Amino acid sequence: MKKIIAGMDIGFGQAKVCLKNGDESIKTICFPRIFAEAGRDNRGLNNHSVYGIEGERFYVGEEALAYQDSFIRRDFRDYVKDKTYWLCIGKALIDTGIFNGDDNIRINRLILGLAPGHFYPENISHMKKTALSGIEFSYNNKICRFSAKEVKILPQGSGAFFSETLTDKGLIQEKNGYKKLHGILDVGYRTTDFVLFEKGQFIGEKEELSEDTGMRTVLEKLQSHIRQKYDKEELEFLEPVLRGQPFEFRGKEYDLSDQVEKLILDHIYKRIEPEVLKRWEGRINRMKRIVICGGGAYFFKNAGDFLKLHKDQIVILPQPEISNAVGFLRFGLMQEKSDSLKRQKI
């Protein structure tokens, strides 16, 4: 039977999953964590899929954007305890073809990320217990179930460290480099996480390493600008504008790139950079790498003066929005190899 090893980073704004099913190639998927209430019909507009869990029915991800009037707002601190968190995992398993005719999946090793500001024992215990006992959901009225044999919860941001220092086979790329001090700046949708690794281990107090300075802050300022000049617009539809696409309004396209760039750079230089210097004071000079990840990492490519004295230390990971999930998978593969060696010695 094929072993399924999966790294999953279910954040406030995006669900990111990276998994390996036996000898198959690594599969990745990323979709917005957006939900819209579904009616009684089995399929939605344009044959959109309907997911159900605990008596509720939803459109999930990009397809939910077609149902703006039915958006479900679940933006609260204990989101990892909400049913929709686990529904994101179910959708990812469907979309990556893991079910593939089966209706009961057992993940051999599941690595989940949790924001450092949420890294409390009760959250960790709840996540482990739920994953081990299993989750039942429906996909277009078909009942599906998944569970995990082994579960590890890691702080978000740590995945980026493993993405930078491990290979796709879970091997250490550079032994001495792996042990040196790394600073991880994880700029997500809602929060920015400041994570430190040394000697291959997380250091610091996990619950004190998050700030509400994610890219949603910029989106809200952009929303305010658009509301004043044009009309109200939902945050869910503004992210493409933040990434350089034109703003569409009443059949016309408007270039807001200058305004967007100013908002982004102001946020980086006035909110994020001072926080980095304050939190990492006394350590930043001896860091081997300052790794920038998360969906907000793209915006640092135009911020040439960010941490100007440390530019030679800065690394922006390829596909930074999924780097945590990639790193979680690599960590899982490393753990799998380690456990296999231990079993051979017995």
Same domain, 191 and 147: no
Closest CA to 259 of 221, 230, 301: 221
Same domain, 16 and 151: yes
Same domain, 136 and 32: yes
Same domain, 222 and 104: no
The total number of structural domains in the chain stands at: 2
Flag whether 200 is in a domain: yes
Same domain, 181 and 54: no
Same domain, 39 and 151: yes
Alpha helices in 151-304 (DSSP H): 158-165, 175-179, 216-229, 239-242, 257-267, 273-279
Looking at 122, 155, 188, the residue that finishes a domain is 155
Same domain, 8 and 151: yes
Same domain, 282 and 310: yes
What span, in angstroms and rounded, lies between the C-alpha atoms of 20 and 6? Answer: 6
Looking at 125, 155, 185, the residue that finishes a domain is 155
What span, in angstroms and rounded, lies between the C-alpha atoms of 191 and 315? Answer: 20
256-267 confidence digits (pLDDT tens): 889 999 999 999
Same domain, 182 and 299: yes
What span, in angstroms and rounded, lies between the C-alpha atoms of 281 and 260? Answer: 30
Flag whether 165 is in a domain: no
Flag whether 335 is in a domain: no
- Domain holding 251, by residue range, is 175-322
Flag whether 248 is in a domain: yes
Whichever domain contains 29, its CATH number is: 3.30.420.40
Side-chain-side CA neighbours of 233 within 13 Å: the count stands at: 24
pTM, two decimals, is 0.89
Same domain, 102 and 233: no
Flag whether 164 is in a domain: no
What span, in angstroms and rounded, lies between the C-alpha atoms of 125 and 47? Answer: 38
Contact 60, 88 (CB under 8 A): yes
Same domain, 197 and 229: yes
Per-residue pLDDT of the chain (346 residues; tens, 9 = 90+): 579 999 999 988 899 999 999 888 999 999 999 999 997 765 666 789 999 999 999 999 999 988 888 888 665 567 788 899 999 999 999 999 999 878 999 999 999 999 887 888 999 999 999 999 999 999 999 999 999 999 999 988 899 999 999 999 999 998 888 999 999 999 988 889 899 999 988 887 654 577 888 888 898 898 888 888 877 666 667 888 888 889 888 888 888 889 999 999 999 999 999 999 999 998 999 999 999 999 899 889 889 899 999 999 999 998 999 999 999 999 999 999 988 887 777 6
Flag whether 340 is in a domain: no
Flag whether 42 is in a domain: yes
Flag whether 334 is in a domain: no
Same domain, 222 and 298: yes
